[in-house]
Amino acid sequence: MFHNEKEETLTRSELTQLQDERLKKVVKWIYTHNDVFKQRLDEANVNPDTFRGLDDLTALPTMNKKEFREYFPLGMCCVPKDQIREMHQSSGTSGTPVVMPYTNNDIHQWGECMARCYKMAGAQPGDVCQITPTFGLFNGGFGMYHGARQAELFIVPASSGNTERQIRLAKAFNTKILTAVVSYGPRILEVLAQMNETLPDLKIGIFGAEMFSPNMKKTISEGFGIDAFDIYGMTETGGVGTLGQDCPDHSGIHVWEDHYIVEILKPGSNEQCPDGEQGEVVVTSLTREALPVIRFRTGDLSRVLSREKCACGRSHIRIAPITGRLDDMLIVKGVNFFPSQVEQALLEIPGVHPQYQIIIENNHGVKDVHINVEAEEGVTGYMVEKKLKETLGFSPKGDVFKPGELPRQAGKAQRVFFEDKN
C-alpha cells in the first residue's frame, strides 16, 4: 500500500521540520537562480539570508497564472536551458499557455509523487495499467507514465480517443488499472453498453483533470464495479499526481506535504482560512528545480479536512475534493453557482446520464441559463427544473435528450457554453 512508507508516514512534527528546511532552501534557490523571482522577493522585502522558513511563509508574495503568461515561455525558469529534459503546457484556451519545464530531478520527483498515488490506490508491481490521457503537451499521459514506471507497472500507453479500441486493449491485456480524465469514464461505460461488453479484470480507476463530484464518482465506481480515486495536480505544480490523491478510506485528498505546502486562503485576500472553512488552494513547491511555484494561487476551492493520521496510515494533510474554481463561478439572476453543483444535482435524479450542457444566454445584457441533459425515458423537463431550483435557487430553462444525442468531445468535456443573442 506504500511506495515510500517512511516519507508517507512522517509524524506531524517531522513533516513541519522538513517543510521548514526545504522552504528556506527553495527561497534561496529561486532568489539566486532567476531574476524575476529575485525582483519579486526584493519588492516584498524578503531576504533569503534572514528568511525564517514557515514562520515567514506569509511574507512571500503570491503568484498566479499571470506571471507564467507574462514571462512565457521560460522567463521564470531557474536552470539553464541545456538542463531541461522535458516540458508540458496548458491548453492556452484562455490566453498564452502556461509552460512547465523539467530537469531530470523534476521528472523523478513527478514520478515519485505519481507512484505514491498508484500504490495508495492498491496497485502492485506488474499490474496492467492502461493510460488513456493524451501523450503530448497536456501533462496527463506522461505523468501517469512516469509514475507507472516508478511503481513498476505493466503499462498500456493507449493515449486518448478510439473508445472501442480502448476496450479491446483492456480485454486483451486484462487491464487492472484505468487512468483517465473524469468525463471519459462515463464515455467508456456508454460504449461498453453499446458493445455489450464488460471489463471484469478492472479493479482501480484513477481520474483527474476535471471536477469530480461525489455523484459522478458514484456513477463511475458502480458502473465499472471498481474503486475510483480522485487525483490532484496541475501544470503549475508539475503535473498530474504531484499534489496527491484520495486513499481507499476516501476521507479526503492526501497532499504530499514533504514536496508541497498547501494553504487555504480567503479568496482575494492573504488571510488564512481556519481548518474546515472553504477557500482558495495556494501551493508552494519545495523540491522542484526548473520552476518552483511560490504561494501559487490555483483558483481551486477546497478546505482542510484533517491533519491527523488517516485510517490508511498516511500522515499527510487531507483536503476536500475540489468543489469548483473561482474563475468557473457563474452568476445568473443574482445567484452564484458552479458547474459542479449542477452536475451533482443532475446525477441525483434517477435515469439522468452524466452528459449535460450549461448554456449561458446573454440577451441584451440579461443573462439566463439553459441546461440540456441526457436521460432515460420517463425523465421530464419538469423533474430536472424542480431539482435544479432546489439546488440553485432559481429555475433554469432546459431540455431532456435521449442518451447519445448530445455531442461528445475528445479529452476534457466542455460543459459550459456562452451564447450572445443580441
List pLDDT tens digits, range 99-152: 999 999 999 999 999 999 999 999 999 999 999 999 999 999 999 999 999 999
The answer to whether the beta carbons of residues 315 and 202 sit under 8 Å apart is no
Mean pLDDT computed over every residue of the chain:
93
CATH architecture group of domain 329-420: 2-Layer Sandwich (3.30)
CA distance 62 to 296: 6
Query: In this structure, what DSSP letter does residue 63 have?
Result: B
E strands within 124-198?
Answer: 128-131, 154-156, 177-181
Amino acid letter, residue 218: K
Q: What is the mean pLDDT of residues 371-385?
A: 91
Q: Where in the chain do CATH 3.30.300.30 domains reside?
A: 329-420
The answer to whether the beta carbons of residues 403 and 356 sit under 8 Å apart is no
Confidence at 94, pLDDT banded by 50, 70, 90? low
pLDDT tens per residue across span 184-212: 999 999 999 999 999 999 999 999 998 89
Confidence at 6, pLDDT banded by 50, 70, 90? very high
Which phi-psi region, left, alpha or beta, contains residue 259 (left: φ > 0; alpha: ψ -120 to 50)?
A: alpha
Q: Does the domain spanning 1-326 belong to CATH 3.40.50.12780? A: yes
Amino acid letter, residue 412: K
Say what the pLDDT of residue 190 is. Answer: 93
Q: Where in the chain do CATH 3.40.50.12780 domains reside?
A: 1-326
Strand bridging mode 154-156 / 366-375: unpaired
Amino acid letter, residue 40: R
Say what the pLDDT of residue 420 is. Answer: 78
Closest of 246, 196, 241, 254 to residue 221, by C-alpha: 246
E strands within 122-265?
Answer: 128-131, 154-156, 177-181, 204-208, 227-234, 239-246, 253-255, 260-265
Query: In this structure, what DSSP letter does residue 265 have?
Result: E
Grid cell in block for residue 253:
485528498
Say what the pLDDT of residue 422 is. Answer: 63
Closest of 307, 336, 309, 310 to residue 323, by C-alpha: 336
pLDDT tens per residue across span 232-283: 999 999 999 999 999 999 999 999 999 999 999 999 899 999 999 999 999 9
Confidence at 361, pLDDT banded by 50, 70, 90? confident
Say what the pLDDT of residue 291 is. Answer: 98
pLDDT over 90 (residue 39): yes
Say what the pLDDT of residue 256 is. Answer: 98
CA distances to 5, 13, 20, 237, 261 from 17, rounded to whole Å, are 18, 6, 5, 22, 12
Provide the β-strand partners of residue 297: 282
Threshold 0.85, pTM exceeds: yes
Listed range (35-44, 308-317, 354-363, 374-383) with the worst mean pLDDT: 354-363
Listed range (24-33, 107-116, 164-173, 331-340) with the worst mean pLDDT: 331-340
CA distance 241 to 112: 9
